C-alpha cells in the first residue's frame, strides 16, 4: 500500500492499563539521611540499570566466597592513582577477592605510594625537560624486585614489606600477606622504569613469564567464580583472554563465570575479552558499570556490605 497522507486523527490508540511498563512506582528512589545504614541506603536506590548491575556483582562475589570459588580482581594504574589502594587492601583482608593482577603502571604506583607516600607525576612538565619517568628510587626498587626472582608481583610485595613500606595502602603487599596470588603483566617499553638501566629487560621478561603462569593457574580455577576488570583498557583484558584459552586448551573446566568491567568509558577490549566472549563461550553472567573509579568502586563496597546485611 502506498503511503499518501498522514492523518493524526486516524492513529490507533491504546490504554495505559494494557501496557507493560518497564518502570513502576516501586522502582523509584527512596530517602536517606546522613546516618542511614548502608543496607537501607541500597534498598532506597532505584532498582534499575547500574544499581541492578551492582547488586548482581555484590551477590556473585559473596556467593563465590561462600562456595570457595576464585575471585579475581584485575586493575589498571589509574585505580591506584585515584586513591583506592586501601579499599583493595580491605577487600583482601575480608576475603572478597582471592587474587590480584595488574599492569606495569599499577605496580609502579603501588610501589611509590607505599614506600614514599606519593605517586603520579606531572607528565606534561616532565616531557618538556626530559624528566618524565626518570626517578632513581622507583627504578632501583623495581630492579631489586626483579632480582628476587619470585615473579614481579611477589618481588614487589617483598620489596615493599622489607623496606618498611605501608602495607595498609598497598594491594600488592597485602595480597602477599593474605596468601593471595598477585601478578604483574608489563607491556615492554610502556612503563617509566623500562628505559632506566636499573631494570634489565631480560629479567623483566623472565619474571613476567612466572607471573603469567601464576595468573593462568588462577584463571584455571575460575569455574563458578568472579573476575572483575577495573580500569585496564588493553593489557589485562588481552592477558586474561590468552590465559583463559590456554587453560581451556589444557582441559580445565572453567565455566559459569561472572565477568565484570568497571571503567570511566566503555572500552572495546574489556567489553569483548572480559565481559562478552568468556560468557558467550562458557556460560555465566555479565556486569558492566560505567563511571569514575573513585565513585564506583567504593559504591561496590557499599553494595557488598548491604548484601552481607551489614548496617
What is the DSSP secondary-structure string of 253-289? ---SEEEEEEESS--HHIIIIIIIHHHHHH-EEEEEE
Does residue 191 belong to any structural domain of this protein? yes
- 225-243: pLDDT as tens digits: 999 999 999 999 999 999 9
Bridge partners of residue 103, in order along the sequence: 185
Q: 234, 78 in Cβ contact below 8 A? A: no
How many Cα atoms within 13 Å fall on the side-chain side of residue 256? 7
The proportion of the chain whose per-residue pLDDT surpasses 70, expressed as a percent, equals 99
Number of domains in the chain: 1
Does residue 36 belong to any structural domain of this protein? no
pLDDT number for residue 4 = 79
pLDDT at 1 over 80: no
Does residue 183 belong to any structural domain of this protein? yes
The proportion of the chain whose per-residue pLDDT surpasses 90, expressed as a percent, equals 90
pLDDT number for residue 310 = 67
Does residue 2 belong to any structural domain of this protein? no
Average pLDDT over residues 176-191: 97
pLDDT at 127 over 80: yes
Does residue 64 belong to any structural domain of this protein? yes
Q: What is the CATH number of the domain that holds 70?
A: 3.40.50.10690
pTM confidence score: 0.93
Average pLDDT over residues 66-94: 97
pLDDT number for residue 309 = 84
Distance (Å, whole) CA 311 – CA 291: 25
E strand segments, the chain = 71-75, 99-103, 181-185, 226-230, 257-263, 284-290
Instruction: pLDDT band for 146, please (50, 70, 90 cuts).
Output: very high
What grid cell was written down for 167?
602495607
Does residue 206 belong to any structural domain of this protein? yes
pLDDT number for residue 311 = 55
How many Cα atoms within 13 Å fall on the side-chain side of residue 252? 18
Average pLDDT over residues 1-24: 89
Does residue 20 belong to any structural domain of this protein? no
Angle, to 10 degrees, between the axis of helix 104-116 and the axis of helix 152-162?
Answer: 10
Query: Beta-carbon neighbour count of residue 118 at 10 Å?
Result: 8
pLDDT number for residue 154 = 98
Which domain, by its residues, includes 189? 47-308
pLDDT at 196 over 90: yes
Residues 6+ positions from 99 with CB-CB distance below 8 Å: 70, 71, 72, 73, 175, 180, 181, 182, 183, 215, 218
- 48-63: pLDDT as tens digits: 999 999 999 999 999 9
pLDDT at 202 over 90: yes
Query: Beta-carbon neighbour count of residue 172 at 10 Å?
Result: 33
Does residue 29 belong to any structural domain of this protein? no
pLDDT at 2 over 80: no
Average pLDDT over residues 31-60: 92
Cα four-point dihedral sign 296, 297, 298, 301:
positive
Phi and psi, residue 195, nearest 5°: -75, -15
By three-state DSSP, how is residue 30 classified?
coil
Q: 170, 114 in Cβ contact below 8 A? A: yes
Amino acid at each position: 500500500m502506498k503511503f499518501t497522507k498522514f492523518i493524526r486523527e486516524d492513529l490507533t490508540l491504546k490504554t495505559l492499563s494494557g501496557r507493560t511498563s518497564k518502570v513502576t512506582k516501586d522502582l523509584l528512589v527512596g530517602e536517606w539521611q546522613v546516618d542511614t545504614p548502608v543496607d537501607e541506603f541500597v534498598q532506597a536506590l532505584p532498582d534499575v540499570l547500574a544499581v541492578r548491575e551492582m547488586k548482581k556483582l555484590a551477590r556473585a562475589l559473596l556467593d563465590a566466597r561462600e562456595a570457595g570459588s576464585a575471585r579475581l580482581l584485575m586493575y589498571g594504574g589509574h585505580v591506584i592513582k585515584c586513591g583506592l589502594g586501601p579499599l583493595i587492601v580491605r577487600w583482601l583482608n575480608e576475603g572478597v577477592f582471592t587474587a590480584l593482577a595488574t599492569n606495569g603502571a599499577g605496580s609502579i604506583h603501588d610501589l611509590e605510594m607505599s614506600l614514599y607516600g606519593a605517586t603520579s607525576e606531572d607528565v606534561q612538565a616532565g616531557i618538556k625537560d626530559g624528566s618524565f619517568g626518570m626517578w632513581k628510587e622507583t627504578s632501583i626498587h623495581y630492579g631489586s624486585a626483579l632480582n628476587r626472582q619470585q615473579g614481579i608481583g611477589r618481588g614487589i610485595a617483598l620489596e615493599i614489606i622489607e623496606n618498611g613500606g605501608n602495607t595498609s595502602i598497598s594491594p600488592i603487599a597485602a595480597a602477599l600477606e593474605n596468601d593471595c596470588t598477585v601478578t604483574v603483566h608489563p607491556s615492554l617499553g610502556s612503563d617509566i622504569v623500562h628505559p632506566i638501566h636499573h631494570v634489565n629487560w631480560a629479567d623483566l621478561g623472565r619474571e613476567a613469564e612466572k607471573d603469567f603462569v601464576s595468573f593462568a593457574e588462577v584463571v584455571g580455577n575460575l569455574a563458578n567464580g568472579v573476575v572483575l576488570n577495573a580500569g585496564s583498557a588493553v593489557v589485562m583484558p588481552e592477558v586474561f583472554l590468552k590465559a583463559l584459552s590456554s587453560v581451556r586448551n589444557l582441559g580445565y573446566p572453567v565455566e559459569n563465570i561472572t565477568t565484570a568491567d568497571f571503567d570511566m568509558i566503555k572500552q572495546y577490549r574489556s567489553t569483548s575479552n572480559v565481559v562478552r566472549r568468556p560468557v558467550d563461550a562458557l556460560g555465566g553472567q555479565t556486569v558492566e558499570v560505567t563511571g569514575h573509579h573513585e565513585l564506583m568502586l567504593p559504591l561496590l563496597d557499599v553494595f557488598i556490605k548491604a548484601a552481607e546485611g551489614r548496617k
